[in-house]
Amino acid sequence: MSPNSEQNSAVKRKARYLPSLFLGLAAILLVVSIFLPYWQITLFAPQYPGGLKAEAYVNRLEGDIEEIDRLNHYIGMHPLEHAARFERSMSIIAIATFALLVLAAIFVHNKWAALLALPAVLLPATFLLDLYLWLRNFGLNLDPSAPLSSSIEPFIPAVLGRSKIAQFGTLATLQSGAYLALAAALLTLMGLFFHRRAYKD
């Protein structure tokens, strides 16, 4: 084998390490994200100037849930635990499956690798869309028999940023789990880019 052939082979082997590296890292980040909060909302009220916090993990809610539900009751909003029950019950299995599909894409040397990795790429956007739909549902379907129902118009709380509802204010932010999922999506895209370059022939 000529030196040029050996050099070309080495370059090709190196090029094929890159998609494995990026896709492998993406799978790891997805699994780690399961154990971290994805989203947090802080509710500000006159009696709670320091704010009440609720953190959303993919499978549970933590924080000042009871106090927030007590305040939400006055404006007719459903308890937080009623939201996304199905999604929370399936989330760990789903995200673990997404991670396995990303790993499987390493060993598929054709265009189907992109299809396998697609759920991981779409996870951050899917999470935010589902969150928006639940917030919209809760905000637009207030209980008319609630004590403050007559003074509160239906509303849609902000998925990210600040909202103002009567004397209440909210601040919604992404948390570390969502950032890891976003990083995993970007790493997956990078892995697919180098995957195509390595195996396009």
Q: What is the mean pLDDT of the chain?
A: 90
The rounded distance, in Å, linking the Cα atoms of 71 and 124 is 29
pLDDT at residue 6, rounded to an integer? 52
Choice between 29 and 13, residue whose per-residue pLDDT is larger: 29
> Measured between alpha carbons, how far is residue 146 from residues 69, 81, 142, 149, 158 in Å?
13, 18, 8, 5, 22
| 43, containing H or E segment | strand 39-45
pLDDT at residue 7, rounded to an integer? 52
pLDDT at residue 34, rounded to an integer? 98
Number of domains making up the chain: 1
| pLDDT-based confidence at residue 178 (cuts at 50, 70, 90) | very high
Asked if 43 and 183 touch (Cβ cutoff 8 Å), the reply is no
Check pLDDT > 60 for residue 140.
Answer: yes
pLDDT at residue 24, rounded to an integer? 96
pLDDT at residue 58, rounded to an integer? 97
Asked if 173 and 7 touch (Cβ cutoff 8 Å), the reply is no
- What is the domain-level CATH number for residue 170? 1.20.140
Which residue range forms the structural domain that includes residue 60? 3-199
Cα four-point dihedral sign 28, 29, 32, 34? negative
Distance between terminal CA atoms of the chain? 21
> Span 92-97, mean pLDDT?
98
Choice between 93 and 17, residue whose per-residue pLDDT is larger: 93
Closest CA to 102 of 11, 176, 183: 183
Closest CA to 164 of 5, 21, 44, 2: 44
pLDDT at residue 195, rounded to an integer? 86
Strands (E), 83-188: 161-165, 168-174
The rounded distance, in Å, linking the Cα atoms of 22 and 119 is 16
Tell me the per-residue pLDDT of 105-136, one tens digit each, with 9 for 90 and over. Answer: 999 988 899 999 999 999 999 999 999 999 99
